[in-house]
Homo-oligomer: A and B are copies of this chain.
Amino acid sequence: MKINILFSPISVDELYFTGKTSVVIDALRATTTIITALENGAKEIIPVGTVEFAVKVSGGMFGWQTLLGGERNTKKIEGFALGNSPLEYSVDIVAGKSVVLFTTNGTKAITKAKFSSELFICAYLNISAVAKHLVMLNHDLEIVCAGRSNNFSMEDSVCAGKLISEIQKLNNDLILSDSARASHSLSKSLGKNILHMMRESEHGKILIENGFEEDLKFCSKLNYSSAVPFLNGQAIKLLPDNVNSSQSALEDKTN
């Protein structure tokens, strides 16, 4: 299995993903939020690349069954029901709802990679679950770090490296690109203490400044979830196995 990592989706165009198996990571916070919302019973997450499109989609297609969520520069967008803190996406708020989500980096990365054959959503919360599914598929992989403003972000790259480690436990026959080897190495050095690494990261510092320290604690929980969200057309849903296990007994994953 060949694994490549993009430290930001800026380096490729949309067609690059055609026919590929991709995994999108935006650990602080979009992909953590998506996993949490689906675990807490959201029907689906509709990732969008612009605020304008978010408003358009939520108004016309779904009406009252829809929640608008997202952020610009870490803060909730005016008129939106929810921001981008996973802690907001509790069972009582999201169960049964379609969530239209716009975030500065994460949902843009997802929409850029939308032509992938398969596209999965990963964060620290579900690394092990995603790794198991990817090993079962046994396809070459593109791991897309959302990054920050088209640049490298430590927390996404370390998460990608930990995903490689988990895959390697189950399949030792990996061919890693330069970026994949770099992330793998970083996850073993700077990624030993995830919360500490997040606090020291550029994005982590900004979130703390803006009052979101609790989000860092939540986003750093390793393998807290067995959810494997995937893009199905325009919407992100849980793999069928996940739906059976997590929606049979809704336990609030924001706690």
Contact = CB atoms under 8 A, between A and B. Distances in A.
Interface of A: 5-8, 10-12, 148-154, 157, 177-179, 181-182, 185-186, 188-190, 200-203
Nearest to A12: B150
Contacts of A11: 8, 10-11, 149-151
Given A11-B11, A178-B201, 15 more contacts: A5-B152, A6-B151, A7-B152, A10-B150, A148-B178, A152-B182, A154-B178, A154-B182, A157-B182, A177-B202, A185-B185, A185-B189, A185-B190, A186-B186, A188-B189
Nearest to A179: B152
Contacts of A5: 152
B185 A181 contact: no
Contacts of A188: 189
A183 to B, nearest CB: 9
A137 to B, nearest CB: 24
A179 B188 CA distance: 16
A135 to B, nearest CB: 24
A178 B153 contact: yes
Contacts of A151: 6, 11, 178-179
11 contacts: A5-B152, A7-B7, A8-B11, A11-B151, A154-B182, A178-B203, A181-B200, A182-B182, A185-B189, A185-B190, A189-B189
